Structure 1
Amino acid sequence: MPPITLAFISDNVNQLNTPALIEQFVIDNIGDGYILDGMQRLNTLRRAAEDDDFDQARPIYFSVVVAEKYDLILYRMITLNNGQKPMTVRHQIEMLTGNLMKRLISNHQLQNITVLSEKETENSSPRGSFRMVDVAGAYLAFLTNGPHNQNSRFIEEKLDEILVGKVMSSGILEEEVGFKEVIEQVDRLSSRQTPKDWLRNENNLIGFSLGYKDSFQHINALSPDQFSTQIEVFEASFQAINPSKVNVGKFRRELSRYFIESIAEDYKIEELTEKFFEMTVN
């Protein structure tokens, strides 16, 4: 039987430099691991173990992947499962997004935002909370390096093939920052109400996640109050767009991405409005 591939996240990958350390790490963190490849084999083994003749002394072989970022695990998960159709790309990302949020919460790294699943918002929608589905949508945009990943005109199977291709060609393995850093900055900036309300919009969150890749050093240095001022400039400029003439969501994703990636330009309202005109004229 081919090895089963397990994956783990660790902030100290470089310290796992001997087989003994890796083995102990796997034992200590087995509850937080992911099965990248071999789920069907595990299910077969579970059923076989119920047989009285099952040889429990027979060894099982594992391949172990330890990465510093969820992005790399998700990339491996998507590429390994490509063509096998155990679950869609979107489903895989939603699952990893939930686990990433749990990890950040358990490590007390989120102080200003709460992220609720669809089930948690069935009966009520707590004011000021982020929706898990929106965060997952932003993660998908981050991985594909594109703001537009939904198309109801395509059947799910074909759309999934397109998304896999976009992830594989996005250059995610060479990115200097990961989506974890995006969420940490969203949380930091959300200590003020204006940025929090702005980032809770799914389209703005997608634009922020994409633009942050190019401007993370500048964003990291901005105070929440400074970011609030920049948002006011963006919104004033965006008001110049006639909503009856455009797909507002599409343009908000594209223009918020540009706004975030070029935030160091410190545009005035007139300057940014003119830039938006140039970007939407066709």
Structure 2
Amino acid sequence: MSLNFYTLDTDVVIDGYVVTASTQYQFALDKFVPLIGRLEIQRDALNTKFYSRLEDDIVRGCVMPPITIALIHSFPARKQTKNSIEEYISQNISNAFVLDGIQRLNTLRRAALKDGFDATRAIHVNFIIASSRDRLLYRMITLNNGQKPMSARHQIDVLADAFFNFDGVDLKLVAEKGKGRVRAPESFKKADFVKGYVAYLSGSVNIDNQKIIEEKMDELIASKIIDSDIPTSKVEFMDIVELVNKFSKSGKLNDWIRVQNNFIGFCVGAKTSAPKLKSVEVEMIEGAISRFEQAFSSINVSKVNLGKVRRELVAYFFQNYQSLNKLDEFELLDKISDRI
């Protein structure tokens, strides 16, 4: 019992591959159903009339629509053979994610308990292999934008917990409620972290405007992500995480970066300047942030939306870090006041 592979296509945009295959129900029960538990945040299994009917139809012999399984792996630059891709998929199923078909797999699991279930019937599956987490999320959002079941923010929220294990960094992520899994000194609220990731992906600090209907806000964010330069960007979100980890070594920057508005602004700004920020000494960044905060303290808080302005100016500061970090308090105040 194994996977039968049919087609292999290269997805140049996400620097990866799309593979079509089939297998038997028993393989799906053994290999795919356990993948659902890999995601901490998961939509509850639905037991609606539709899925109850599908459960019966599976026993009667229907063919389910293909499910979609994703893996993240960056292959060497040389062109891969069909056999090497198929071998990678077969050996790494346990590291995959179910992108589409969670409810169908839950339904299959229930159907398998019924009399008459045939575990040898075929189930079809599409595999998507992307070279990075960012590119995979980009592909998901371009495919799913406009559909009702899952907004762009929900997709990111669901997958962020599974994607970011922070191997090799000191950052840890804690859910605000429920049994948060602590993975890796000071912690981020998961909600703040996801907001920073959404801001990074969309290239915008305007990700939770209460003046915009939530549904339209989701569509706006998805549109910005689609229009962003994720597939061509040389910066990955883990580059931002590594910088946050670097800041966390500093007593002065540790608390500063964990303020939600600072973090969101930084995620947007560092998307442009991350490669250069990596080579800057922490003491230099401490001094630059100190001058920024001195300049920011001169803004008339009664005249602005302080949270919104902080996000925008932090993003602007780090987007233009090379030139702005050299300015004194009043030169910097002159620059940032023009952005308000």
Pairwise CA distance, 1:4: 1.7
Question: Are 2:124 and 1:61 equivalent residues in the alignment?
Answer: yes
Contact 1:36 1:80 in 2 (8 A): no
CA apart distance, 1:173? 1.8
Secondary structure in structure 1 of the residue aligned to 2:339: helix
1:32 maps to: 95
- Return the alpha-carbon distance in structure 1 between the equivalents of residues 290 and 179 of structure 2: 29
Under a length normalisation based on structure 2, what TM-score does the superposition of the two structures give? 0.73
Q: Tell me the residue number matched to 2:217.
A: 159
Question: Which residue of the partner structure matches residue 275 of structure 2?
Answer: 217
Aligned partner of 1:135 in structure 2 is 193
Q: Distance in 2 between matches of 1:46 and 1:225?
A: 56
- Which moves more between the two structures, 36-45 or 267-276? 36-45
1:270 aligns with 330
Q: 1:184 aligns with which of 242, 245, 257?
A: 242
Deviations, residues 135-178 of structure 1 (Å, cap 9, x unaligned): 11010011111111112233332222222222212232222111
2:169 pairs, out of 95, 101, 110, with 110
More helix per residue: 1
CA distance in 1, matches of 2:65, 2:83: 22
**RMSD between superposed Cα atoms in Å:** 2.3
The match for 2:289 is 231
1:119 equivalenced with 2:180 (yes/no): no
CA distance in 2, matches of 1:59, 1:22: 22
Q: What TM-score, normalized by structure 1, do the two folds share?
A: 0.86
Larger displacement relative to structure 2 (218-227 or 24-33): 24-33
How many residues in Structure 1 have an aligned counterpart in Structure 2? Answer: 271
Partner Cα distance (1:144, 1:166) in 2: 5
**Contact conserved, 1:70 with 1:96, CA < 8 A, in 2?**
no
The one of 26, 42, 47 aligned to 2:105: 42
Contact 1:4 1:38 in 2 (8 A): yes
Q: Distance in 1 between matches of 2:156 and 2:145?
A: 14
Name the residue aligned to 2:315.
257
Please give the secondary structure, in 2, of the residue aligned with 1:250.
Answer: helix
| Deviation (angstroms), 1:20 | 4.0
Aligned match of 1:146: 204
Q: Deviations over 1:73-113 (max 9, x none)?
A: 112222333333223322221222212332x2xx3x212x3
- Give the SS at the match of 1:152: coil
Equivalent residue, structure 1, for 2:138: 75
Which shows bigger deviation, 152-161 or 247-256? Answer: 152-161
Instruction: Decide whether aligned partners of structure 1 residues 141 and 222 sit closer, same or farther in structure 2, where only a CA change above 3 A counts.
Output: same
Q: Give the superposition deviation at 1:228.
A: 0.8
Are the structure 2 counterparts of residues 49 and 79 from structure 1 closer, same or farther at C-alpha, using a change threshold of 3 Å? farther
Checking the alignment, whether the CA contact within 8 Å between 1:72 and 1:173 is kept in structure 2 is yes
Q: Does 1:10 align with 2:73?
A: yes
Contact 1:13–1:67 under 8 Å retained in 2: no
1:101 aligns to 2:164 (yes or no) = yes
SS of the equivalent of 1:61 reads: strand
Q: Closer, same or farther in 2 for the Cα pair 1:16/1:35, shift >3 Å?
A: farther
Aligned partner of 1:279 in structure 2 is 339
Choose 90-99 or 5-14, whichever is displaced more: 5-14
User: How far is the alpha carbon of 1:277 from its aligned partner?
Assistant: 1.8
